[in-house]
A and B are shown apart, each in its own frame.
Chain A
């Protein structure tokens, strides 16, 4: 029963994610206008044939900004995910595999990092380094790897205790070979599931920090930036906030559906 339900969820999620991916990929062809083109004579126009979702306070095409915003958001989400995993995978792998003091030292560091609310910590780091997208990326990676490393370590610990690791040692394989060929290969799937569950959260956090002015900087088309740009017009032109809000919401929904679906499937597979 639940398998079928999840299946629909995961399919809907995949459709959404795929649609966003295609929009991001083909943004230049899909967008009706240049997302950066300012036309003060056309500001705050209602939807029309030439501007399907109207224009913003600088007369820019809202639809085009949304479409290019997809590109920005997905790109940065991927970049954050990649940099977070670039740190957390090796750290988690080494902590779980080496054990002993190395593991203990790493775990204490992780405990300390996790004692802070991660969003506020990355906010503080970005504010300190100066608000910009690369700095945001850096602050995310610096803070968020800890939680992932901890989960990855526990996956590694589980695999490490299997007899085939002992067998690999008896076969004369080196630590490096064992970590990559045996542990990482078997950990890849749970790590992927972990990633898919968290994509939505990261996307939301990026938009949130951009909204606060700490991430993408205007005039870059980005959903969080669009939200903060439109804030002064909340009363008179609420639709300007609605569009990026909905774009974010559907994106997060799509990623979460896929993530949860994968996680459920994994649970079922393990129970079977």
Chain B
């Protein structure tokens, strides 16, 4: 059974329905438009697409962090689209995320230990010793020294922060981790280390990944299937990344032609396909 299944997901931002104000609806911004997607156990799925194509939005919808405007999401056949925050707890622990911008992804007032502790204390790990033990375990899994536990995010490097992010996602022993461009701010060597780390964790723990990336060479090495997102819609989908290079879709060809970039900010010329969308 699929770990995750999305059917006809759409997300429209800002459809104003103010009362006392203007009446009627304004058309909002359609960030995601009828996307269906599924991820099998142990699969490394990739999601690619240019900046603003809706990758992060889709990730938030899949994890139930935001409610879709239309469509359903299911975890192992259980529909959790309409579940309320507290009813989703069980499923949340199975679906975790590593966030795109590691600096904004951590409460600056929390130490690393508190960051990893947050999911633990929410899931009935009542004993402090058990939680401390688990924090130590997780730090070791992601290759961080035990002394990191008492540091604050601003005291860590980008690579270390990304490891903390992975650690937080691992804490609850999830089945699927969505990695939203986890390495876009890291240099090439550290990027390689992180890929190795994710691969090791996958082998040890039998995880599935949804890997969001700009870096197609990385995707081609690391992932099984690939979905190409364009302006909130699926442009193409391949069950094997190796088929990607044979694509005749103009948008995909353009993505392939773009030189792998270190960081979106360093990109000199944006892709031309949807310039009206910025």
| Chain B residue, CB-CB nearest to A167 | B105
Interfacial chain A residues near B93, Cβ < 8 Å? 172
A-B Cβ contacts below 8 A, count: 63
| Chain B residue, CB-CB nearest to A161 | B104
Question: Footprint of A on B, CB under 8 Å?
Answer: 18-21, 60, 63, 65, 85-86, 89, 92-93, 95-97, 99-101, 104-109, 118-119, 122-123, 168, 172
| Chain A residue, CB-CB nearest to B66 | A166
B107 touches A164 (CB 8 A): yes
B109 touches A173 (CB 8 A): no
User: A167–B20 Cα gap in the complex (Å)?
Assistant: 34
Pairs of residues from A and B, 3 with the lowest C-beta to C-beta distance, nearest first: A172-B122, A171-B119, A163-B105
Say if the beta carbon of A43 comes within 8 Å of chain B: no
User: A172–B108 Cα gap in the complex (Å)?
Assistant: 19
CB-contact partner of A171 in B21, B86, B122, under 8 A: B122
| Chain A residue, CB-CB nearest to B97 | A170
The prevalent SS among residues of B at the interface is loop
B101 touches A169 (CB 8 A): no
Name 25 interchain pairs, CB-CB below 8 A, sorted by A.
A104-B21, A105-B20, A163-B99, A164-B104, A164-B106, A166-B99, A167-B99, A167-B105, A167-B106, A168-B107, A168-B118, A169-B85, A170-B63, A170-B95, A170-B96, A171-B122, A172-B89, A172-B172, A173-B122, A174-B86, A175-B85, A181-B107, A182-B107, A186-B107, A186-B109
Interfacial chain B residues near A186, Cβ < 8 Å? 107-109
A172 touches B123 (CB 8 A): yes
User: A171–B96 Cα gap in the complex (Å)?
Assistant: 8
A108 touches B20 (CB 8 A): yes
B108 touches A163 (CB 8 A): no
User: A185–B106 Cα gap in the complex (Å)?
Assistant: 13
Say if the beta carbon of A101 comes within 8 Å of chain B: yes
Say if the beta carbon of A162 comes within 8 Å of chain B: yes
Interfacial chain B residues near A185, Cβ < 8 Å? 107, 109
Interfacial chain A residues near B60, Cβ < 8 Å? 166
User: A101–B100 Cα gap in the complex (Å)?
Assistant: 30
B85 touches A174 (CB 8 A): yes
Interface size on A, residues (CB 8 A): 22
User: A9–B18 Cα gap in the complex (Å)?
Assistant: 46
Min C-beta distance of B183 to chain A, whole Å: 16
Interfacial chain A residues near B172, Cβ < 8 Å? 171-172
Question: Which residues of A, 46-72, contact B by the 8 Å Cβ criterion?
Answer: none
User: A101–B168 Cα gap in the complex (Å)?
Assistant: 33
Question: Which residues of A, 159-202, contact B by the 8 Å Cβ criterion?
Answer: 162-164, 166-175, 177, 181-182, 185-186
Min C-beta distance of B163 to chain A, whole Å: 15
User: A96–B31 Cα gap in the complex (Å)?
Assistant: 23
| Chain A residue, CB-CB nearest to B18 | A104
Which of A101, A164, A174, A186 has the most chain B CB atoms closer than 10 A to its own CB? A164
| Chain B residue, CB-CB nearest to A108 | B20
Min C-beta distance of A12 to chain B, whole Å: 31
B85 touches A163 (CB 8 A): no
Instruction: Knowing A108-B20, A182-B107, A186-B109 are in contact, say whether A163-B122 is a contact too (CB < 8 A).
Output: no
| Chain A residue, CB-CB nearest to B180 | A163
Interfacial chain B residues near A177, Cβ < 8 Å? 122
User: A171–B85 Cα gap in the complex (Å)?
Assistant: 11
User: A163–B161 Cα gap in the complex (Å)?
Assistant: 14
Min C-beta distance of A266 to chain B, whole Å: 14
Interfacial chain A residues near B105, Cβ < 8 Å? 163-164, 167
User: A108–B99 Cα gap in the complex (Å)?
Assistant: 35
Interfacial chain B residues near A181, Cβ < 8 Å? 107
User: A244–B106 Cα gap in the complex (Å)?
Assistant: 50
User: A223–B99 Cα gap in the complex (Å)?
Assistant: 56
CB-contact partner of A163 in B18, B92, B101, under 8 A: B101
Interfacial chain A residues near B65, Cβ < 8 Å? 166, 169-170
Interfacial chain B residues near A171, Cβ < 8 Å? 92, 118-119, 122, 168, 172
Interfacial chain B residues near A174, Cβ < 8 Å? 85-86
Min C-beta distance of A271 to chain B, whole Å: 16
CB-contact partner of A104 in B20, B85, B118, B168, under 8 A: B20
| Chain A residue, CB-CB nearest to B59 | A166
Interfacial chain B residues near A162, Cβ < 8 Å? 104
Min C-beta distance of A109 to chain B, whole Å: 10
Question: Which residues of A, 123-175, contact B by the 8 Å Cβ criterion?
Answer: 162-164, 166-175
| Chain A residue, CB-CB nearest to B101 | A163
Min C-beta distance of A270 to chain B, whole Å: 12
| Chain B residue, CB-CB nearest to A159 | B107
Which of A166, A167, A175 has the most chain B CB atoms closer than 10 A to its own CB? A167
Which of A166, A171, A174, A185 has the most chain B CB atoms closer than 10 A to its own CB? A171
Interfacial chain B residues near A169, Cβ < 8 Å? 65, 85
Instruction: Knowing A104-B19, A172-B122, A174-B85 are in contact, say whether A167-B97 is a contact too (CB < 8 A).
Output: yes
B92 touches A170 (CB 8 A): yes
